[in-house]
Amino acid sequence: MEKIFAGKNALVIGGSGGIGRAVALGLAERGARIVLHGGSSQERLDSALKLVRAAGAECTGFLYPADSAGPDIAAAEILSRVREFLDGAFPSILVCAWGPFKQGNIEDMGPEDWRYLIENNLTFPGIVVSSCLGDMMNKRWGRILLFGGTNTDTIRGFKTTAVYSAAKTALGALAKSVARSAGPLGVTCNVICPGLTDTEYTSEALRAYNSERSPGGEVLKPEDIAKIALGALENSTVNGGIIPVDRGLAF
C-alpha cells in the first residue's frame, strides 16, 4: 500500500477499540506515526498497539477516560500527553472516534444526560479541533475526521436518541466551518455517520437489534466504516463532508 501519510503524526482518540481502531490500522498501513488513545481498558489498548505496530507503524498509546473531568480538562490533558510523545508537535491527522451513546425519550432526559451527551459528543471534539487547528493552518496541511451518529447526516427527528443525535448532527456544522476557514490552507475536516456497526462493545441485545434493523440484515463491521473514513482522509477534495456509511438505512 502507498505510504501516503509517511512523516505525518496521527492522534486517534478512542483508537484502542471499535471503529477508531480500524481507522488507526488503516492510517498505520498508509505510513502515519500513530498515537492511540483509549478510555480505560489496558488490555484493549495493548492489543490495538500490537496490531498497529504489526502494520509497520511507529505507535504509542495511553488511557484517559475523557468523561472524568470535563471536556476542557480532558482535551488539554490528552493533547499534552500526545505532544509529550511527539516531542512537542501537534498531530497533523486528528481522528476523534470516541462518542458515547445513550438512549431515552426526550421528555425523560435530565440535565445530567444533556450535559454528558453534549459535552462528550460535541464540546470535547470541538475543543480538540480548535486546539489543533491553528497549527495545521500554519503548516498548510491537516486532516480531521469526526464521527456522527446513524442518520445524523442531515437534520432529522429522533424518537429515542434526540440528545445524542442533536450533538452528532452539530458536528456537521463544525466540519463545514473548519472546511470554510481552513480548507484554503490545506486542512480538511469531515464527518462520517456510521450505520449500525457491531464492535466488541456491542451487547447481545444490541446485536439482535442491529441485525433486525440493518438493510438486508447485514450489520456493518468497523472495517466497512474505516474504508470510507480513510478515503475521506486521503482525498483533500472531500472537505466539509457529512458522509453516511449505512447502506441506505433510514429509521
Nearer to ligand NAP, 3 or 201 (CB): 201
Q: What is the largest CA-CA distance in the chain?
A: 51
Q: Which residues bind ligand NAP (CB under 6 A)?
A: 14-20, 38-41, 44, 65-67, 97-99, 101, 147, 149-150, 194, 196-197, 199, 201
* Least distance in angstroms from the C-beta of 192 to ligand NAP: 8
Strand order in the sheet with 9-13: 59-63, 33-38, 9-13, 93-96, 142-147, 187-194, 242-245
Nearer to ligand NAP, 103 or 138 (CB): 103
Nearer to ligand NAP, 118 or 137 (CB): 118
* Least distance in angstroms from the C-beta of 2 to ligand NAP: 26
* Least distance in angstroms from the C-beta of 119 to ligand NAP: 11
Q: List, as one string, the DSSP characters of 138-204.
A: HHT-EEEEEE--TT-SS----SS-HHHHHHHHHHHHHHHHHHHHHGGGTEEEEEEEE-SB--TT--H
Q: How many Å apart are CA 239 and CA 182, to the nearest integer? A: 10
Indicate the SS3 state at residue 2: coil
* Least distance in angstroms from the C-beta of 117 to ligand NAP: 10
Nearer to ligand NAP, 14 or 172 (CB): 14
* Least distance in angstroms from the C-beta of 196 to ligand NAP: 5
Nearer to ligand NAP, 185 or 202 (CB): 202
Q: List, as one string, the DSSP characters of 78-108.
A: HHHHHHHHTTTPPPSEEEE---------GGG
Nearer to ligand NAP, 14 or 31 (CB): 14
CA distance to 137, 162, 171, 236, per residue, from 179 (Å): 11, 26, 12, 10
Nearer to ligand NAP, 41 or 177 (CB): 41
Q: How many Å apart are CA 86 and CA 68, to the nearest integer? A: 24
Q: How many Å apart are CA 152 and CA 48, to the nearest integer? A: 28
